[in-house]
């Protein structure tokens, strides 16, 4: 197994698999958050299920965190290996002639996304863990929709325009990251033969619609905050 990760192909396949996993989660996360635009009650119900289901809390959530950490660590390793392989010529090479700006700067868009994930954890995940498992306060997830705090907390986070701006910038970089990463993941798995154009079109749609959707959600709650 260690030999698999030591090989260039092995690292790329591992990177691609973690990318697929995170893209599936991103879509699921988007769908749940989109519910908050149409119905705070339904959003509360779904969030309640996600926040109290043991399988999600104690199995899927740790797997997700591992997937995020693994993807970014593998990305840094691949970047370092690529730069070492290219050597001094890397700095002199006209990369624009052979690749897009996005593909040459995946590490930087990745760092912005990583910073955003930290902010997102500070905004939502850490307070949730603190409330439920440290303070032992489960009052917001008991019976009665009126008692649920999820929708209210979501809106409160988007009152500050600086935070909304940070989210928008992060999702723009996410779109750029996905524009290259989506097709690249399939290519690493050898799945683009004869269908590269189709995958590129699907990738473009996914890379634009999902981040744009998250931006719309943030703006919606900023301008429709219930005081």
Q: Per-residue confidence at 26, pLDDT binned at 50, 70, 90? A: very high
What are the angstrom distances between the C-alpha of 102 and each of 98, 115, 195?
12, 18, 22
Residue 205 domain boundaries? 2-223
Encode pLDDT of 157-191 as tens digits: 899 999 999 999 999 999 999 988 888 888 877 76
Q: How many domains does the chain have?
A: 1
- In terms of phi and psi (left: phi > 0; alpha: psi -120 to 50; beta: otherwise), the region of 208 is alpha
Neighbouring residues of 130: CB distance < 8 A, sequence distance ≥ 6: none
Q: Tokens for 185?
A: 């993941």
pLDDT for residue 146 is more than 50:
no
What CATH number did the domain enclosing 185 receive? 1.20.1300
Neighbours of 190 (CB within 10 A): 10
Nearest to 219 by CA among 174, 165, 142, 138: 165
Which residues of the chain form beta strands (DSSP E)? Answer: none
Neighbours of 185 (CB within 10 A): 24
Q: What's the rounded Cα separation, in Å, for the pair 211 and 26?
A: 9
Q: Per-residue confidence at 207, pLDDT binned at 50, 70, 90? A: very high
pLDDT for residue 145 is more than 70:
no
More confident residue, 81 or 18: 18
Mean pLDDT within 147-158: 82
Residue 186: the pLDDT is 82
What are the angstrom distances between the C-alpha of 42 and each of 38, 48, 224?
8, 10, 17
Question: Counting Cβ atoms within 10 Å, is residue 140 exposed (0-12), middle (13-18) or buried (19+)?
Answer: middle
Q: Tokens for 157?
A: 């986070």
CB contact at 8 A, 211 and 167: no
Q: What's the rounded Cα separation, in Å, for the pair 227 and 219?
A: 16
Place of tokens 């390793």: 77
Residue 227: the pLDDT is 52
Q: What's the rounded Cα separation, in Å, for the pair 64 and 67?
A: 5
Neighbouring residues of 210: CB distance < 8 A, sequence distance ≥ 6: 26, 27, 30, 174, 178
């Amino acid at each position: 197994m260690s030999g698999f990760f030591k090989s260039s192909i092995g690292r790329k396949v591992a990177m691609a698999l973690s990318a697929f996993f995170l893209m599936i989660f991103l879509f699921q996360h988007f769908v749940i958050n989109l519910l908050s635009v149409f119905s705070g009650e339904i959003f509360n119900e779904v969030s309640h299920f996600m926040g109290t289901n043991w399988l999600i809390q104690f199995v899927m959530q740790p797997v997700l965190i591992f997937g995020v950490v693994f993807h970014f660590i593998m990305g840094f390793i691949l970047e370092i290996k690529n730069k070492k392989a290219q050597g001094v010529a890397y700095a002199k090479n006209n990369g624009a002639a052979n690749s897009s700006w996005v593909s040459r700067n995946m590490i930087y868009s990745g760092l912005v996304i990583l910073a955003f994930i930290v902010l997102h954890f500070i905004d939502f995940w850490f307070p949730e863990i603190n409330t439920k498992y440290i303070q032992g306060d489960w009052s917001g997830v008991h019976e009665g929709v009126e008692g649920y705090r999820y929708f209210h907390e979501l809106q409160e986070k988007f009152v500050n325009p600086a935070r909304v701006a940070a989210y928008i910038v992060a999702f723009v970089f996410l779109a750029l990251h996905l524009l290259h990463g989506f097709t690249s993941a399939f290519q690493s798995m050898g799945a683009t033969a004869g269908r590269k154009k189709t995958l590129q079109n699907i990738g473009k749609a996914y890379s634009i619609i999902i981040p744009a959707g998250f931006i719309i959600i943030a703006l919606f709650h900023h301008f429709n905050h219930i005081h």
